[in-house]
């Protein structure tokens, strides 16, 4: 069972996991796999079966993910689900305009429309498996893809009606693979390739893991893409370590938020983090409110 979260919701599953969590409506999983990983097909079918049991429409994108449907029908009866209109498949180009301009705004509008259509057709939501390796490997799309994964996580976490498993090959270059993986609450990957994660709970952004100088630019890119209202809350209670470069990134984000009429609350900061914040004189440049976990 998952613990109840804000507004009566269950807390989202999060962490570096080797197995899929129990299916819930706001799941966002990054599953890093070897090209011939024998467990990949079963994981795809398990993720989809969880959505089918919840009455969600299923959408599978990309040839490798679609091929995983040809497995044990006792786990997932893909043929019946397709015949009933409960399972759809698409190529990457059809869903992500990989051969055209790929933008966060376009993808959000596309998935909002697909989720609305699923609900209008009587389903409880939309559950997606998407094989994204080709986009991550393309320098034209890699940075925007990482921003999209972050914005997509906010959409899912705020009751957008969508859940997703995003799959990536383990032989992708470390920089784009680490960038997209960091935007997921649940990651199945080598821990060294995903030192930290930035994801959403309904009332806050969560930063978990470890952030050193080598990871600062990646953190800055994700925070810059974070939607924020009149007040942003960054939960840092799950940080095991953050260096001076990471704290300066957070401070710069606070300044940017202030320029947009917003403010930043840092929730759950350790005494060491607060001490470092003071030693770096960040209060003078980026005043934030510290609050307990």
Dump pLDDT digits (tens) for 77-88.
999 999 999 999
- Residue 157: which residues within 8 A CB-CB, separation 6 or more? 12, 26, 28, 199, 200, 201, 202
pLDDT in tens, 189-226: 998 899 999 999 988 999 999 999 999 999 999 999 99
CA distance 29 to 25: 12
* Mean pLDDT confidence for 124-137: 96
Q: What is the mean pLDDT of residues 64-85?
A: 94
Q: Where are the beta strands (DSSP E) in 140-284?
A: 162-169, 186-188, 196-201, 204-211, 231-242, 263-267
How far is residue 51 CA from its own chain's centroid?
18
Pairing of strands 162-169, 263-267: unpaired
The rounded percent of the chain whose pLDDT value lies above 90 is 83
What is the pLDDT confidence band of residue 100, given thresholds at 50, 70 and 90? low
**Domain definitions of the chain by residue range:** 1-192, 203-293
CB-hemisphere CA count at 13 Å for 207?
Answer: 28
CA dihedral defined by 149, 188, 232, 286, rounded to 10 degrees? -100
Q: Is the pTM of this model over 0.85?
A: yes
* Cα–Cα distance list, 241 to 41, 86, 280 (Å): 35, 44, 16
Question: According to CATH, what is the number of the domain 203-293?
Answer: 3.30.750.24
As a residue count, the chain comes to 293
CB of 174 within 8 A of CB of 193? yes
**Side-chain-side CA neighbours of residue 8 (13 Å):** 0
Distance CA 248, CA 250 (A): 5
SS3 154: helix
Measured from the Cβ of residue 280, the count of other Cβ atoms closer than 10 Å reads 14
- Summarised one tens digit per residue, pLDDT across range 235-281 is 999 999 999 999 999 999 999 999 999 999 999 999 999 999 999 99
Q: Which CATH class is domain 1-192?
A: alpha beta
d(CA 197, CA 206): 8
pLDDT band at 8 (very low <50, low <70, confident <90, very high): very low
Mean pLDDT value across residues 25-48 = 93
């Amino acid at each position: 069972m998952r613990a109840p979260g804000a507004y009566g919701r269950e807390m989202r599953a999060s962490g570096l996991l080797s197995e899929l969590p129990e299916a819930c409506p706001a799941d966002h999983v990054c599953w890093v796999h070897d090209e011939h990983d024998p467990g990949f097909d079963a994981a795809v079918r398990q993720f989809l079966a969880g959505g089918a049991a919840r009455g969600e429409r299923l959408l599978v994108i990309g040839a490798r993910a679609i091929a995983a449907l040809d497995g044990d029908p006792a786990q997932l009866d893909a043929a019946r689900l397709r015949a009933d209109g409960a399972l759809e498949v698409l190529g990457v180009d059809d869903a992500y305009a990989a051969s055209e301009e790929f933008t966060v705004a376009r993808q959000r509008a596309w998935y909002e429309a697909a989720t609305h259509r699923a609900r209008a057709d009587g389903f409880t939501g939309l559950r997606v498996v998407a094989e994204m390796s080709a986009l991550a490997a393309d320098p034209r799309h890699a940075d925007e893809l990482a921003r999209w994964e972050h914005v997509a996580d906010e959409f899912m976490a705020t009751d957008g009606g969508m859940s997703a498993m995003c799959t990536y090959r383990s032989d992708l270059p470390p920089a784009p693979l680490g960038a997209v993986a960091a935007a997921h609450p649940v990651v199945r990957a080598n821990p060294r390739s995903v030192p930290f994660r930035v994801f959403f709970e309904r009332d806050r952004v969560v930063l978990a893991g470890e952030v050193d100088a080598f990871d600062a630019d990646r953190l800055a890119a994700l925070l810059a893409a974070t939607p924020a209202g009149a007040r942003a809350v960054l939960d840092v209670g799950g940080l095991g370590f953050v260096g001076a470069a990471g704290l300066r990134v957070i401070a710069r984000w606070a300044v940017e938020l202030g320029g947009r009429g917003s403010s930043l609350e840092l929730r759950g900061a350790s005494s060491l983090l607060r001490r470092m914040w003071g030693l770096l004189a960040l209060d003078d440049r980026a005043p934030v409110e510290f609050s307990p976990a």
